[in-house]
Amino acid sequence: MSVSIQRLEEIKKDFLSKQKVFQKTIRVCCGTGCISSGALKVLEKLRTALKTEGLDEKVKVIETGCHGFCERGPIFVFGENDIFYQMVGKRNIDADVSALIETVKSDKIAQNLLYPDPNDKTKKFVATREIPFYSGQQKIVLHLNGYIDPESIEDYIARGGYVALHKALQMKPEEVIDWIDRSGLRGRGGGGFRTGRKWRSCREAHGSPKYIVANGDEGDPGAFMDRSIMEGNPHAILEGMIIGGYAIGSNDGYIYVRDEYPLAVKRLTKAIEDARRLGLLGDNIFGTGFRFDIRIFRGGGAFVCGESTALMQSLEGKIGEPKAKYIHTVERGLWDKPTNLNNVETWACVPLIINNGWEWFANIGTKNSTGTKVFSLVGKVNNTGLIEVPMGLTLREIIFNLGGGIQKGRKFKAVQTGGPSGGCIPAEYLDTPVDFDTLTELGSMMGSGGMIVMDERNCMVDVARYFLNFLVEESCGKCVPCREGVKRMYEIVDRICNGEGREGDIEHLEELGKAVKLGSLCGLGQSAPNPVLSTIRYFREEYEEHIKHKKCRAGVCKPLITIKINEKCNGCMVCARNCPVSCISGEKQKPHVIDQSKCIKCQICYDVCRFDAVTIE
């Protein structure tokens, strides 16, 4: 028997009525971040404590996906009054569990588990919605992340899940595509291609069968937006894909998941099994005769496998090398059949658009970049984590409002967006509204949404070297400009960092960078010079200082710096005690000196000195 909308309604009612017995809910983050900071252990103790107190029948504990604030994990949120507890169990697990029980029993708030304002330690936030990191967000894709149990299809259905699928199946396929097109949705995986247009080309392409693929490869180091969706709300991706399959005329979907994401694989697998059990996948979905099924493929783990053609090669069981895309994959993709690939976040937007209408989506964000975007905000900001904001929010709002400003009150220098082959944007563009086009104009890109914040202690030449090094490692090596060119760019930048820069190096990098961009086969090579070209564009004087004056103003490039102790030193001896190679000497209460021949420039003395007596030159 096929699934019906009445059946969904029943499941929802049934689920909600079962909830009525609970007086309280605690939402426990069981995302990868919180698990690695010990959430499961606290959870176990909490469950035991609830049982001992005879509260286990009254309190519902939901194991949710990532709440975004992983740095502050483990995170426990009380459902009704929205009390946000962070770093639970980090200091004293038993005391913290008792505090949780206290809150359950008497709503007593444990001050030490609240989130303190990073700029004013005396201030603490109680509710999630008061914390700027959360209040500045607009969660639509992640709206259920942190609320539902990702392993329960009933929970998803109780919150309106799979209604969009039913609605889409009552529409004509062309109409569904039209909605997606009019919503303005653009691909969240990097390129920002119009999703509706892609679907239409795939629908109109000749050849069958046709395939639907979700890209969950997420190879950007440090990025975890896609992981968080796959782990936190897997059904949203499935629902989007089934709708896409109907619109495009495909019966077979694949989710390509990075192999390093076992939890995502587990939850997606469970989600697929549950959807099959209820008839939301399989034959005759909602009695319409439409058949669709989804399989999971675990990727090999190379960064380049996220690129569309390499991903398809890899799915076919071949080496994940990109191919020329002069004939688009919507015409000839997987096994040379029409294939529609979208990023998992793109897929998760689809049910929202069908449920709320394309106008609703088109009204969020900017004219040419509609909707929201999930970013992973990391680096030298106070609040790091995963955020979802409307397109068009400025960099300043993201970094200083949500991010809470720069750590230790230091000065902002640049923000690197777009993953390893994105670019660095300097302070003068902090008021730029963030969308696909503005970032490209600034010589960077949206990429999949990585944002790394840098301060005055980051050397921009060193930053360029860091990303080049990653790209040299990750170049598949198929085409000459990328394989050989990026390696040579790395060599030049490395030389500059080592104080061996030469007149003409900057121009050489610009020329080589341009050639690599123009000549490379796939997006990796075509964007690999970005970190170098954008830092030259905005921080040329830092390159010049390295080359001409052998100076690194940020004090990062070790061959270019000397650590000295000045007359402010009062001989407190803290530096001497902390120096790992014991090269600081001097008597108590008298200025100390550093033996330059032994100094390894680790800068520990600089960090520990409380009298500004250590200088980096």
Partner 1 sequence: MVKFKIDNKVVEAKEGEYLLDVARRYGFSIPTLCHHEALGSDGRCRVCVVEVKTRWRKRIVTSCLFPVSKDIEEVYTASEDVKLVRRTVLELLLARCPESDVIRYMAAKYGITEPRYKKDTDKGKCILCNMCVRTCENIVGVSAIGIIGKGPEKKISPPFREASDACIGCGACVAVCPTGHIFMEDKDGIRLIWRKRFELAVCPKCGRYHAPVEQLEFISKKTNVPMEELLVCTNCR
Ligand X SMILES: Cc1cc2nc3c(=O)[nH]c(=O)nc-3n(C[C@H](O)[C@H](O)[C@H](O)COP(=O)(O)O)c2cc1C
Where does this chain bind ligand FES (CB under 6 A)? Answer: 29, 31-34, 66-70, 73, 75
From the list partner 1, ligand FES, ligand SF4, none, partner contacted by residue 327 (C-beta under 5 to 8 A by kind): partner 1
Is residue 379 close enough to count as binding ligand X by CB under 6 A? Answer: no
Supply the minimum distance, in Å, between the C-beta of residue 520 and ligand SF4.
4
From the list ligand X, partner 1, ligand FES, none, partner contacted by residue 187 (C-beta under 5 to 8 A by kind): ligand X
Both tokens of 32, joined, read: 């990868």
Q: Please, which residue, 424 or 476, has the CB nearer to partner 1?
A: 476
Is residue 512 close enough to count as binding partner 1 by CB under 8 A? Answer: yes
Positive or negative CA dihedral for 70, 71, 72, 74? positive
From the list ligand X, partner 1, ligand FES, none, partner contacted by residue 417 (C-beta under 5 to 8 A by kind): none
Q: Please, which residue, 142 or 310, has the CB nearer to ligand FES?
A: 142
CB 247 within 8 A of CB 168: yes
Q: Please, which residue, 183 or 308, has the CB nearer to ligand SF4?
A: 308
**Most distant CA pair in the chain: distance in Å?**
88
Binding site for ligand SF4 (CB under 6 A): 304, 322, 475-479, 482-483, 520-522, 524-525
Q: Please, which residue, 71 or 494, has the CB nearer to partner 1?
A: 494
From the list ligand FES, ligand SF4, partner 1, none, partner contacted by residue 75 (C-beta under 5 to 8 A by kind): ligand FES
Q: Please, which residue, 143 or 182, has the CB nearer to ligand FES?
A: 143
**To 10 degrees, what angle do helices 163-170 and 234-248 make?**
10
Q: φ, ψ for residue 289 (rounded to 5)? A: 85, -5
> Which residue in the set 524, 533, 554, 563 belongs to the binding site for ligand X (CB under 6 A)?
524
Report the SS3 class of residue 51. helix
Supply the minimum distance, in Å, between the C-beta of residue 312 and ligand SF4.
14
Dihedral angle over CA of 330, 334, 340, 345, nearest 10? -140
Supply the minimum distance, in Å, between the C-beta of residue 87 and ligand FES.
11
Q: φ, ψ for residue 452 (rounded to 5)? A: -115, 120
From the list partner 1, ligand FES, ligand SF4, none, partner contacted by residue 67 (C-beta under 5 to 8 A by kind): ligand FES
From the list ligand SF4, ligand FES, partner 1, none, partner contacted by residue 519 (C-beta under 5 to 8 A by kind): partner 1
Name the nearest CA neighbour of 401 among 136, 138, 130.
136
Is residue 342 close enough to count as binding ligand X by CB under 6 A? Answer: yes
Q: How far apart are CA 502 and CA 504, in angstroms?
A: 6
Which helix (H) or strand (E) segment holds residue 564: the answer is strand 563-565
Supply the minimum distance, in Å, between the C-beta of residue 310 and ligand SF4.
8
CB atoms within 10 A of CB 6: 8
> Which residue in the set 217, 239, 274, 455 belongs to the binding site for ligand X (CB under 6 A)?
217
Both tokens of 205, joined, read: 């392409």
The closest residue (CB) to ligand FES is 31
The closest residue (CB) to ligand SF4 is 525
Supply the minimum distance, in Å, between the C-beta of residue 29 and ligand FES.
3
Supply the minimum distance, in Å, between the C-beta of residue 431 and ligand SF4.
34
From the list ligand X, partner 1, ligand FES, none, partner contacted by residue 410 (C-beta under 5 to 8 A by kind): none
Report the SS3 class of residue 347. helix
Q: φ, ψ for residue 388 (rounded to 5)? A: -120, 120
Q: Which residues contact 229 (CB under 8 A, 6 or more apart)?
A: 141, 142, 145, 236, 237, 344, 345, 348, 374
Q: Please, which residue, 113 or 205, has the CB nearer to ligand X?
A: 205
Which helix (H) or strand (E) segment holds residue 166: the answer is helix 163-170
> Which residue in the set 174, 491, 595, 612 belongs to the binding site for partner 1 (CB under 8 A)?
491
Which helix (H) or strand (E) segment holds residue 12: the answer is helix 5-19
In whole angstroms, how far apart are CA 308 and each of 28, 211, 523? 36, 13, 10
Supply the minimum distance, in Å, between the C-beta of residue 592 and ligand X.
50
> Which residue in the set 475, 527, 530, 534 belongs to the binding site for partner 1 (CB under 8 A)?
475
Is residue 333 close enough to count as binding ligand X by CB under 6 A? Answer: no
Is residue 329 close enough to count as binding partner 1 by CB under 8 A? Answer: no
Chain positions 429 to 488 lying near ligand X, rule: CB under 6 A, are 448
Q: How far apart are CA 419 and CA 451, in angstroms?
A: 7
From the list ligand X, ligand FES, ligand SF4, none, partner contacted by residue 219 (C-beta under 5 to 8 A by kind): ligand X
Q: How far apart are CA 42 and CA 585, in angstroms?
A: 47
Supply the minimum distance, in Å, between the C-beta of residue 154 and partner 1.
45
| β-strand pairing of 211-216 with 252-257 | parallel
CB 205 within 8 A of CB 338: yes
Q: How far apart are CA 18 and CA 41, in angstroms?
A: 27
Q: How far apart are CA 226 and CA 264, in angstroms?
A: 9
Q: What share of the chain is helix, strand, coil (3-state, %, to 5)?
A: 45, 15, 40
Q: φ, ψ for residue 417 (rounded to 5)? A: -120, 160
The residues of the shown chain that bind ligand X, judged by CB under 6 A, are 187-191, 193, 215, 217-219, 303-304, 306-308, 341-343, 346, 448, 522-524
The contact set with partner 1 (CB under 8 A) reads 302, 319, 323-324, 326-327, 472-481, 483-485, 487-488, 491, 508, 511-512, 514-516, 518-521
